[in-house]
Structure 1
Amino acid sequence: MHIATQKDAETSVMSDPQISDSEKQCRIELAACYRLAAHYKMTDTIYTHISARVPGEPGHFLINPYGLMWEEITASSLVKIDVDGNKVADSPYRVNPAGFTIHSAVHIGRHDAAWVMHTHTRSGFAVSCLEEGLMPLNQIALQYYGQIGYHDYEGIALDLEERERIVEALGANIALILRNHGLLTVEATAGQMFSNMFYLNRACEIQESTLAMGRPLRKIDDAVIKRVSEQFSQMAYDDGDVALEWDAQMRLADRLDPGFRD
């Protein structure tokens, strides 16, 4: 199978004057998400996705080109698709329509969720296999207290009818644990979505390590759990900490390889 070169895609998108500045910025931030996820080892070779709604274009989304590793993805190589995963703009790349089933469910059902990230990390998978799911055992996990939905495993996500059940399970939450499958986070901005996934996966890693020690667990008082979850919400949305964090992540992406912007 021939995979088009990075240069093929570059000349067709980011240099195109007909592409809006808002779409170009969306492409840059989405490409950064892929590069950062690769850096933090949250990838599954060419599988799973991060998607973003195209600003000003209802029903259109950007997603990774099928066949590229996440560390190869650039702003130009991202593919514009519709809600069914069909390409709506010229691109030398294939897309994986089946892989967009979960993402399309969220984008359709949650209009505030402009950004959606789904991962198959080892720790995320491990926690998704536990009956308890994510447990309130540490400070990072408390960030998600009362903000995680759970969706039972129904097999590989090829059935479009499953989308309604995914949306129902997610509800108004910022994260979804797909049981026996992995993790999903959503938000209105790239920075908020990526931060949600970064720390959700970190919470899973900590839980995995904690349970592996086989020692008695030190539980946190319910009142403290509630207070800390409220503190996290205030820090993220009132004080703008996530915006500062995303700026730092973008600087990291540039240090790793500024070519993602092309």
Structure 2
Amino acid sequence: MTETANLNVKASVSDEEWQTRVDLAACYRLIAMHGWDDLVFTHISARVPGPDEHFLINAYGLMFEEMTASSLVKVDLNGRKVLDSPYPVNPAGFTIHSAVHEARTDVGCVLHTHTRAGIAVSAQADGLRPLSQNSLFPLISIGYHDYEGVALNEDEKPRLVADLGSNNFLILRNHGLLAVGRSIADAFLGMYLLESACQIQLMAQSSGATLVEVDERILSGIAAQAEEVTKGLGGQLAWPGLLRKLDRRDSSFRD
């Protein structure tokens, strides 16, 4: 994306949308930095601030480490571009995201991954188990959705939305992980916790030792503890530091 193209996009959108673009591009870069990307596949979408039902999603074909604020594609709920872009949109990707955004107006960001750890746990009959502190935060707000093939079928949307319900996490059986948040920062923190919980579970299981699960009484009180730890700010506490880390490495996500 050239500097001229960047200026054209920035001049065509509101300041609020541009900030959302910067944060979403940063989120893509962070996913790549943590090794959670899957070549050019999987997606993160964000609701554009304002009265219109418009959303930002990745330019299909760009690596996550290449994503910039100006390369993100703006679409409506049907996946149609509402701002000119030379890049296509992955139809399977937006099927999942549009379903969640349409049903959950409280959701500002939907983050979906195909990590090995996430898929491995999604294939386990018991799913995510309370084996670590990290697992407790997703476990208080999680659903499961059975695999129905590549997500191209519009008929799957109501079942996916019903399985997510009012939760912030969804394990897509034999497929991957999904986290939602009021903000991009919240969605990223949620995925960080869910992904790390899956990795910890697989490492613990691979030891062959007898595993100790967290007592259910502790799990029932974790919501109040989470609120105390984050003071209701969620991912916003970690987000500025993550942006500083990205800037030290490569600030081109802001272009």
Return the TM-score normalized by structure 2: 0.96
The two structures, once aligned, show a CA RMSD in angstroms of 1.4
| 2:104 counterpart of 1:102 | no
Deviation by residue 1:186-210 (Cα, 9 ceiling, x = unmatched)? 0111111000001100000000101
Which SS does the other structure have where 1:26 is aligned?
A: helix
* CA deviation after TM superposition for structure 1 residue 233, in Å: 3.4
* CA deviation after TM superposition for structure 1 residue 52, in Å: 0.4
> How far apart, in 1, do the equivalents of 2:178 and 2:134 lie?
17
| 2:215 counterpart of 1:210 | no
| Native 8 Å contact 1:117 1:194 kept in 2 | yes
> How far apart, in 1, do the equivalents of 2:25 and 2:182 lie?
17
Deviation by residue 1:166-220 (Cα, 9 ceiling, x = unmatched)? 1100011111000110000001111110000011000000001011111111122
- For 1:55, the equivalent position in structure 2 comes to 49
> In structure 2, do the counterparts of structure 1 residues 223 and 207 end up closer, same or farther at CA, with 3 Å as the change threshold?
same
For these two proteins, the number of residue pairs brought into alignment is 255
Deviation by residue 1:223-262 (Cα, 9 ceiling, x = unmatched)? 1222234312332353x35322111111112112111101
- For 1:251, the equivalent position in structure 2 comes to 244
> How far apart, in 1, do the equivalents of 2:208 and 2:77 lie?
45
Aligned equivalent of 2:8, options 12, 18, 25: 12
> In structure 2, do the counterparts of structure 1 residues 241 and 100 end up closer, same or farther at CA, with 3 Å as the change threshold?
closer
Equivalent position amino acid for 1:252 in 2: K
| Native 8 Å contact 1:86 1:97 kept in 2 | no
| Native 8 Å contact 1:61 1:82 kept in 2 | yes
| Native 8 Å contact 1:28 1:75 kept in 2 | yes
> How far apart, in 1, do the equivalents of 2:179 and 2:231 lie?
16
- 1:187-202 aligned at under 5 Å gives the runs 187-202=181-196
- For 2:177, the equivalent position in structure 1 comes to 183
- Worse-matched range after superposition: 169-178 or 246-255: 246-255
Unaligned residue ranges in structure 2 (runs of 5+) = none
Aligned equivalent of 1:78, options 72, 91, 102: 72
| Native 8 Å contact 2:59 2:72 kept in 1 | yes
| 2:34 counterpart of 1:31 | no
Which SS does the other structure have where 1:224 is aligned?
A: helix
> How far apart, in 1, do the equivalents of 2:223 and 2:134 lie?
9
> In structure 2, do the counterparts of structure 1 residues 79 and 49 end up closer, same or farther at CA, with 3 Å as the change threshold?
same
